[in-house]
Amino acid sequence: MKISKSVKISIPIFVLSFFLLGFTFYSTPQKDKVLIGVLRYILKNWHYEPKDFDDAFSKAVCKDFIDEIDPVKKYFTKEDITDFFRYETLIDDQLKREDLSFYHLVMERFQIRLKESEMYYKEILSHKFNFEKKEIIQTDYELLEFAKNKKELIEYWRKQTKFNTLGKIETLLELEKDKAAEDSTYVTKSFDVIEAEAREKSLESLNNFYKRIKKLDHTDWFATFVNSIAEEFDPHTTYFAPKIKELFDINMSGKIEGIGARLQQKNDFTKIVELISGGPAWKQGDLEVGDIILKVAQTNEESVDIVGMRLDDAIKLIKGKKGTQVLLTVKKVDNSIQKIPIIRDVVELEETFVKSSIVHKNGKKYGVINLPKFYIDFNDLNGRDSGSDMAREIEDLKKENIEGLLIDLRDNGGGSLKTAIEIGGLFIEKGPIVQVKYRDNEPVVKNDYDPTVQWNGPLVILVNELSASASEILAAAMQDYKRAVVIGSKQTYGKGTVQNVIPLNKSYNYPEDLGAVKLTIQKFYRINGGSTQLEGVRSDIAIPSKYSYVEIGERDQQNPLKWDKIPKANYASVNFYKNFDEVIESSKNRIAQNQEFLLIDKYAKWLKESRDKSSFSLNYDDYMNEQEKHEKRIEEFKDVFKHSSNLEFNSPLREIVLMKKDTVLASKRNAWHEALSKDIYIDESIQVLSELKVSQNVLLAKK
């Protein structure tokens, strides 16, 4: 059955709103006071770049907390906001006294407005909409002011529910077309019947949403206020309530049955933040980082709307036994809605380890190493780590007489600093790899002291916008030494900070669990002195990607720490390649003339345009015309990433022996090799690698 890919989100974009029936707001639990006091102490004394609890900070917390509770301006009126903003310069003083008067006022008012809004949407959806009326809805809520009064607020609700119902009408009409196509005797429903069914579905979605709100407890919504304080320091400083802490940083050293994706909740939405290499979602290729999961359905069951659902409850629905299917309704980067079925499987750590492949080009062999993350097990000294595994893979490739090495760091969000330094040391004799700075301390230079050079041939590092942290350290060091050509996105993610998770009970002896805070405690700097914060690593060769114009990096987060510079470390760049500039220029010319890359760039610009669109017609004919145009543009770009390189990839000999005994491993590697042969970024990177020539006067110690 065909499902339209251009269906709009079918319920309002709500924040994770909190509601507890029967709770008394007038008294502050002692635990809340203790939590605020401990958090304030830790933020002030341990954060890398602490902020003063002053009037400016108070204003920011005031605004951000209101935005978190009502970002789409569907609950509060200007009168409410006026009442709240009487506290805008007082919150800092209240926090110093563990006084939560501002918080209680907002939540008391929110409880009232929430009950009122439940009546609004039920009344609105009990009547037929006029879809002939020419009107629009603004979905960029930063441009929308709070309603002047209740009448205007109800009008906001009318437009939002009408917009949601339009999306549902489109879906129902698509289903009717499919039924008619499958059965020539089928009598399609009239528009009035469809409209009534769509309103009923909108009502059901909102009713379910409000049921979930009522199940949330005190710690859920109090954590939102606490995070309005913590996140003023930087986007990675976050408070974890006890229940959320249990979900944070799940140990992936065992096996998990599911789809193989890390999820994160921001406001109402469950977002894909990482696909586990080798997992079902990664292998299938339909889910992407940045996708938002809207609904989850089990086999032969109705979809469950998870917008507004707690992360732990959403995960329970998505996870499941090996071999079972889950159907995810997701919002894609291009704003289309897709239904993606995934067969759950066992996600094993093995697939997050380093792996390598050999490719033949023009009669020569080249090695490709994929490094999904910088891993290490500090609790097992005999366990695997990415540094030693990388060294082993290089040795295997050297035995195959490769003439160049490509390291793929795309989507690698970082990990162990120790292993990043060790891996950097595999390509230089010895010297600094990164500089690390604690608050108010002098920078510490982290060196590779091992004079052994594991690989002394041509080296290319492939990155993208999601290469972050330790990935940026490795790429930056190799770039500063002029040891490697960095190719990929215009710049990497730009996360140059280090966090530590601190259980609050370790700082204050309290009988109940206070949760934890993830705190920024360090900053990374390149050996040339520049921070990787915000700037990331700028590629020597920039290639268009789907994220080229999308806000996805650290610079696009709220309250990021600034870029700065410290003195360079004691190192010397080496003119390792005699044709470095020529190879880069040649690649840039190829990319500029390549029709596939030009199409990718055109697609990326359209994605930006599509995501920025925030005004939609509520007239049925105009709405459907807009959707038809959007569908045609999606069709125009359907082949944007279909590429064939005619390159053949194979495993090293050591792994081929294992694959003969392990059919599962063989299947995984064959799937990876096929993906590599269709990867235009790998293709161009191998071409660059094949052109690099090492200078004869470069003397590096060999193992």
pLDDT, tens digit, 9 for 90 and up, residues 467-516: 999 999 999 999 999 999 999 999 999 999 999 999 999 989 999 999 99
Joined together, the tokens standing for residue 168 give 């549902």
Buried b / exposed e over 542-565, threshold 16 CB at 10 Å, is bbbbbbbbbebbbeebeebbebee
Q: What percent of the chain has pLDDT over 70?
A: 91
As beta bridge partners, residue 270 has: 265, 293
Joined together, the tokens standing for residue 606 give 């359209």
353-496+531-691 and 249-348 share a CATH fold: no
**Digit-coded pLDDT (tens) for 362-421:** 999 999 999 999 988 776 767 789 999 999 999 999 999 999 999 999 999 998 999 999
Element containing residue 506 per DSSP (H, E) = none
pLDDT higher than 60, residue 21 = no
Query: In 595-695, where do the E strands start and end?
Result: 615-617, 649-650
Neighbours of 508 (CB within 10 A): 14
| Residue 272 half-sphere exposure toward CB, CA atoms < 13 A | 27
Q: Categorize the per-residue pLDDT at 3 as very low, low, confident or very high, splitting at 50, 70 and 90.
A: very low
pLDDT of residue 267: 62
Ranking 100-104, 257-261, 672-676 by mean pLDDT, the lowest is 257-261
Query: What is the residue type of 645?
Result: S
pLDDT of residue 11: 29
Nearest to 288 by CA among 276, 272, 277: 272
Joined together, the tokens standing for residue 449 give 């002291």
| Higher-scoring residue by pLDDT: 19, 242 | 242
Dihedrals phi, psi of 230, to nearest 5 degrees: -65, -40
pLDDT of residue 26: 45
Q: Are the C-beta atoms of residues 117 and 74 closer than 8 Å to each other?
A: yes
User: What CATH homologous superfamily does 353-496+531-691 map to?
Assistant: 2-enoyl-CoA Hydratase; Chain A, domain 1 (3.90.226.10)
Q: What percent of the chain has pLDDT over 90?
A: 68
pLDDT of residue 494: 97
Average of per-residue pLDDT across 164-182: 90
**Complete DSSP assignment for 111-149:** HHHHHHHHHHHHHHTTS---TTS--EEE--TTSSPPBSS
pLDDT of residue 437: 96
d(CA 504, CA 230): 13
Q: Are the C-beta atoms of residues 293 and 258 closer than 8 Å to each other?
A: no
> Any idea where the domains of the chain sit in the sequence?
30-236, 249-348, 353-496+531-691
pLDDT higher than 50, residue 701 = no
C-alpha pair distances (Å), 197 with each of 168, 178, 296, 305, 628 = 9, 17, 21, 17, 22
Q: Categorize the per-residue pLDDT at 247 as very low, low, confident or very high, splitting at 50, 70 and 90.
A: low
C-alpha pair distances (Å), 166 with each of 83, 197, 412 = 36, 11, 39
DSSP state of 504: G
C-alpha pair distances (Å), 442 with each of 28, 362, 519, 523 = 42, 50, 20, 11
pLDDT of residue 9: 30
d(CA 238, CA 223): 10
d(CA 116, CA 534): 43
pLDDT of residue 628: 92
Ranking 150-154, 330-334, 660-664 by mean pLDDT, the lowest is 330-334
Nearest to 169 by CA among 139, 138, 201: 201
pTM of the shown model: 0.84
Across all residues in the chain, what is the average pLDDT? 88
Ranking 39-53, 321-335, 427-441, 561-575 by mean pLDDT, the lowest is 321-335
Residue identified by tokens 């500029």 is: 592
Residue identified by tokens 């600094």 is: 432
pLDDT higher than 50, residue 358 = yes
pLDDT higher than 70, residue 574 = yes
Residue identified by tokens 């006091």 is: 37
pLDDT of residue 270: 84
Nearest to 405 by CA among 342, 333, 454, 347: 454
**198: helix, coil or strand?**
helix
**Digit-coded pLDDT (tens) for 621-651:** 999 999 999 989 999 999 999 999 989 999 9
pLDDT higher than 80, residue 703 = no
pLDDT higher than 80, residue 291 = yes
State the Cα angle at 160 between 159 and 166, rounded to 5°.
90
Q: Are the C-beta atoms of residues 405 and 394 closer than 8 Å to each other?
A: yes
d(CA 442, CA 440): 7
| Higher-scoring residue by pLDDT: 344, 571 | 571
pLDDT of residue 551: 84
Neighbours of 261 (CB within 10 A): 24
Joined together, the tokens standing for residue 378 give 């500090």
pLDDT of residue 700: 43
State the Cα angle at 209 between 206 and 210, rounded to 5°.
90
pLDDT of residue 533: 97
For CA atoms 562, 563, 566, 570, the dihedral sign is positive
Neighbours of 82 (CB within 10 A): 10
Provide the terminal-to-terminal Cα distance of the chain, rounded to the nearest Å.
59
pLDDT higher than 70, residue 353 = yes
| Higher-scoring residue by pLDDT: 144, 303 | 144
Q: Are the C-beta atoms of residues 161 and 125 closer than 8 Å to each other?
A: yes
Q: Categorize the per-residue pLDDT at 23 as very low, low, confident or very high, splitting at 50, 70 and 90.
A: very low
State the Cα angle at 495 between 492 and 496, rounded to 5°.
115
Joined together, the tokens standing for residue 393 give 């893979």
Average of per-residue pLDDT across 53-68: 96
As to burial, measured by CB atoms within 10 angstroms (0-12 exposed, 13-18 middle, 19+ buried), residue 436 is middle
Fold of 249-348: Pdz3 Domain (2.30.42)
| Higher-scoring residue by pLDDT: 167, 310 | 167
